[in-house]
Structure formats: structure tokens, C-alpha cells
């Protein structure tokens, strides 16, 4: 049996902030967010805001995806065309909603990976988009960044193992 | 040599601080007093009002150390605002905004209607010839977006901290921090305060995306 996690003891948040390397994630997302200010905004939302354990978890998962991408892409990090995408809306208070001009985050959600799971336009597809983009930005944008990296990976891999 | 200052200075300074900003009002008062009563007058002003108005105290100290003008060059702020399309200003420092606003072509501007002082906001706005809108605390998030910035004025940096108007804390809750691309502080005082910084609150400088 694997050892049980120590539920009664947590590491201090400084231990988390020590391993979170913002520059690494900025570099990882640079092909999808070429404008430095937009990239810094998204990375701040994912690694610099919200509870410390989310920041740490986002860093670990994005870094691991980055390592996989590095092995698959063999150093080629030119931006691929990831195809159609969905906007990631900011969740403003309902009384300030602007249906015709709703602000959204600069990193959109690529549709291609979700289309492997559900046909675009179906209720299932829309529900998947909703699940990935709802909630606080440190969740939503981390989801979107991960799907973006997965989209990049999938675009570089053969469609079947035989190819 | 002691200098006699007119009565009612504190009340008058409150009005000036409300409509010009604490730093700009302080420079105005210090320069005027210095013109008529020299350094002794500035020392007297500091003794009379410094404990009540810590920014005035710090500006008087700077004057007595040889400083003669506030540093209003907006260059560093313009760098921090690159790419911004909507700007909400929290706090007021008129001379600094006068230097900045003419250089913000194409940027929509709002001023948060919030001050610890009595302010005639219509009079304040009239200085900007329709260029600046007023926005309430309840509605400023309608200015959020991926090219939106919140700007406030900071009053001296000391170690990892700085001081800002309390409204900044009301504005930059965890929900708002991820709805504005940049959270910028413009240090208008450029000196630590010597007395207790009443009117202001201390914040960690790292909570801004840029402190210039």
C-alpha cells in the first residue's frame, strides 16, 4: 500500500513559492501568447493568485506537460496553428455583465482536443467548454493552458500508433 | 526663529488634499510657505501639520533636504501602461495626472469616486475636459478586461512595503486582481514617511504587477 499523505501536517507556503518558477511557464506559453503583457497576465493568474496549493499544482502539471512537449517537439517550439478556439470569459459580477462586449482572457481554449471527445456544437461539447472555463481564473486559465499544451502535443503526434 | 502660520491651515489643507491629492497639496503648501517664510516657515508648517498629514511632513522634510519639485515625469508609468486600453485610477494626484493624461492617447480613463476627504468631483473632472469619467466602487469592474489596468499612487517605498490610499484595498480583492491585466503603483513621494502614515494603508509592494 502506498504511504498515506500526512493530512494533519502541511508544508509552509514558502516551500511552495520556492519551487514555482514563473519564467519557466512564461517560456512554455510564449508560442501561444506572444505579447509579453498578455503572457504575464495569464501566468500571474495561474501562478501568482489564489491559494498556494493551486499555484504549486498548476506549476507542476504545466511543467510536466512542457517536458512531454519538449520530447515530442524535439526543441521545435514554433507556434502551431491549433485551429478553432473558444473565448475564456472573465466572470464579472452579474450586474455588470456586458453581453455584447464581455471581456475575455487573452488565452483561448482550443477546440480540437475536445472534438476528439464530443462533436462540436453538441450539448456535451458545450458542457466540456463550460467545465474547463468556469470558476476562478487560477482554475480556468490553468485548464486552458493545459488543453493548449495538449492540443499542441496532439497536433504533433500521429493519429494512430501505427503511423 | 519661529514663524507664525495662519489659523485654519489644517482645514484648508484637507480641502486641497481632497482635490489635488495629498502629495500635490503638500508641495503647493510647502512651496508657498517657503516663498514667504523660507526654511523656517517650512519647519513651522511641518511642526504644525506634519503629524496630521504625514505626506506633507515627508514633503517638508524633502524640501529642507534640498528637493524643490515633485518628480512628475510619467515615463516609467507609460512603460507600465503599454498596451493598456482602459485605465482606472484609484486616488488623485493632480500634477501627476496632468503630466500623464495628455500622453495616454487612445486609452479610456476613469477615476474612482472615493476619497477620505470631502471632494467636489465635478470640479475635479472639469480639469480634464471630458477626458476622464467617474466610476463608483460598485461599478468599476465594468472596466475590467485583458487590456485594462488599475493605477494608484504610492507614497514612498520602505523595504518590501509601500503606502497607498485605503480605497486600493477595497478595489483589489482577489476577484478583481485576475480581471485587470496590470496593477500599477506610481510612487509620487519617493521618500519614506517619518511619522505615522495616517490616511494611508501599508501594502506589500509585490502585490503590484509594477511599482514605478
Q: Does B83 sit within 8 Å of A35, measured CB to CB?
A: yes
Interface test with chain B among A20, A36, A90, by most B beta carbons within 10 Å:
A90
Read off the pTM.
0.85
| A123 near B CB under 8 A | no
**Nearest neighbour of A38 by CB, restricted to B146, B174, B177:** B146
Main-chain phi, psi angles of B146, to 5 degrees: -70, -10
Q: Which helix (H) or strand (E) holds A86?
A: strand A85-86
Q: In chain B, which residue's Cα lies nearest the Cα of A103?
A: B145
Q: In chain A, which residue's Cα lies nearest the Cα of B179?
A: A90
Q: Does B179 sit within 8 Å of A103, measured CB to CB?
A: yes
Count Cβ atoms below 10 Å from residue B65 Cβ, excluding itself.
8
Q: What is the pLDDT along chain B (212 residues), one digit of tens a residue?
A: 577 888 889 999 999 999 999 999 999 999 999 999 999 999 999 999 999 999 999 999 999 999 999 999 999 999 999 999 999 999 999 999 999 999 999 999 999 999 999 999 999 999 999 999 999 999 999 999 999 999 999 999 988 999 999 999 999 999 999 999 999 999 999 999 999 999 999 999 999 999 99
B125: nearest Cα among B90, B151, B164, B94: B94
Does the structure's ipTM exceed the value 0.90? no
Alpha-carbon distance B127 to nearest alpha carbon in chain A (angstroms) = 28
Amino acid at each position: 500500500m502506498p504511504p498515506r499523505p500526512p493530512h494533519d501536517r502541511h508544508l509552509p507556503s514558502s516551500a511552495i513559492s520556492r519551487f514555482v518558477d514563473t519564467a519557466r511557464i512564461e517560456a512554455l506559453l510564449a508560442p501561444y501568447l506572444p505579447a509579453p503583457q498578455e503572457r504575464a497576465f495569464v501566468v500571474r493568474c495561474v501562478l501568482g493568485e489564489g491559494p498556494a496549493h493551486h499555484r504549486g499544482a498548476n506549476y507542476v502539471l504545466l511543467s510536466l506537460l512542457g517536458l512531454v512537449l519538449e520530447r515530442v517537439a524535439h526543441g521545435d517550439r514554433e507556434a502551431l496553428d491549433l485551429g478553432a478556439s473558444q473565448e475564456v470569459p472573465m466572470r464579472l459580477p452579474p450586474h455588470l455583465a456586458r453581453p455584447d462586449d464581455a471581456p475575455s482572457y487573452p488565452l483561448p481554449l482550443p477546440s480540437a482536443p475536445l472534438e476528439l471527445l464530443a462533436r462540436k456544437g453538441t450539448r456535451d461539447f458545450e458542457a466540456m467548454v463550460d467545465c474547463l472555463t468556469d470558476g476562478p481564473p487560477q482554475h480556468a486559465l490553468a485548464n486552458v493552458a493545459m488543453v493548449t499544451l495538449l492540443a499542441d502535443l496532439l497536433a504533433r503526434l500521429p493519429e494512430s500508433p501505427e503511423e | 526663529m519661529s514663524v507664525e502660520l495662519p489659523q485654519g491651515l489644517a482645514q484648508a489643507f484637507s480641502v486641497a488634499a481632497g482635490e489635488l491629492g495629498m502629495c500635490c497639496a503638500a508641495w503647493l503648501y510647502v512651496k508657498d510657505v517657503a516663498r514667504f517664510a523660507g526654511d523656517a516657515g517650512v519647519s513651522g508648517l511641518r511642526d504644525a501639520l506634519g503629524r496630521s498629514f504625514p505626506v506633507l511632513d515627508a514633503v517638508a522634510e524633502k524640501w529642507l533636504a534640498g528637493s524643490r519639485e515633485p518628480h512628475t515625469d510619467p515615463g516609467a508609468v507609460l512603460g507600465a501602461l503599454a498596451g493598456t486600453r482602459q485605465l482606472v485610477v484609484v486616488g488623485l494626484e493632480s500634477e501627476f495626472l496632468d503630466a500623464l493624461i495628455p500622453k495616454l492617447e487612445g486609452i479610456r480613463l476613469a477615476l474612482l469616486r472615493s476619497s477620505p476627504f470631502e471632494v467636489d468631483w465635478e470640479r475635479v473632472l472639469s480639469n480634464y475636459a471630458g477626458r476622464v469619467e467617474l466610476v463608483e466602487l460598485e461599478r468599476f469592474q465594468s472596466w475590467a478586461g485583458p487590456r485594462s489596468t488599475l493605477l494608484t499612487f504610492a507614497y514612498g517605498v520602505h523595504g518590501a512595503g509601500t503606502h497607498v490610499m485605503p480605497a486600493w484595498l477595497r478595489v483589489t480583492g482577489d476577484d478583481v486582481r485576475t480581471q485587470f491585466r496590470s496593477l500599477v503603483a506610481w510612487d509620487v513621494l519617493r521618500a519614506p514617511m517619518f511619522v505615522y502614515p495616517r490616511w494611508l494603508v501599508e501594502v506589500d509592494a509585490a502585490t503590484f504587477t509594477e511599482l514605478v
